[in-house]
Amino acid sequence: MKKKPFAFRISESTYQTLKQKSKRGKVTMTEFLERAITDKEIVVVDGMQELISELKAIGRNLNQLTTLANMGKVDAVYLAETKAQLSGIYEKLSALCEVNR
């Protein structure tokens, strides 16, 4: 738990830079500064949200299929399309990782 307040003065341009970088990293300014000071890596991967949405959709579909299978309403499922979608996501993820190195 954080208990120690700390304040300092910076220029407006430095403040705006800090604000932009923390926003881009999707963290608070405090968390951004803590990571920078403690040499923790700050990684920002643009385009990740789209991949996360696709994976969540596939996961929901698989959960629905599992439920139907457990209810005895589905005997067999053809997952070639799902496999192709996962391969596509893996390729996009690999490309994002290469770009952000």
pLDDT digits (tens, 9 = 90+) for 22-57: 888 888 999 889 888 888 877 777 777 888 889 999
Alpha carbons 101 and 29: distance in angstroms, whole number:
23
What pLDDT score does 9 carry?
93
Structural domain boundaries, residue 22: 11-43
**Domain shared by 91 and 72, yes or no:** yes
Instruction: Please check whether residue 62 lies inside any domain of the structure.
Output: yes
Same domain, 82 and 67: yes
- Percent of the chain topping pLDDT 70: 95
Q: Taking residues 2-9, what's their average pLDDT?
A: 86
Is residue 64's pLDDT more than 90?
yes
Q: Are residues 57 and 93 in the same domain?
A: yes
pLDDT digits (tens, 9 = 90+) for 10-28: 999 999 999 998 888 888 9
Q: pLDDT at position 100, please? A: 60
- Exposure letters 20-35 (e unless 16+ CB within 10 A, then b): ebbeeeebeeeebbeb
DSSP, residue by residue, the chain: -----------HHHHHHHHHHHHHTTS-HHHHHHHHHTT------TTHHHHHHHHHHHHHHHHHHHHHHHTTS-S----HHHHHHHHHHHHHHHHHHHHT-
For residue 9, the Cα-to-chain-centroid distance in whole angstroms is 32
pLDDT digits (tens, 9 = 90+) for 78-99: 889 999 999 998 888 888 777 6
pLDDT of residue 61: 92
Domain contains 2: no
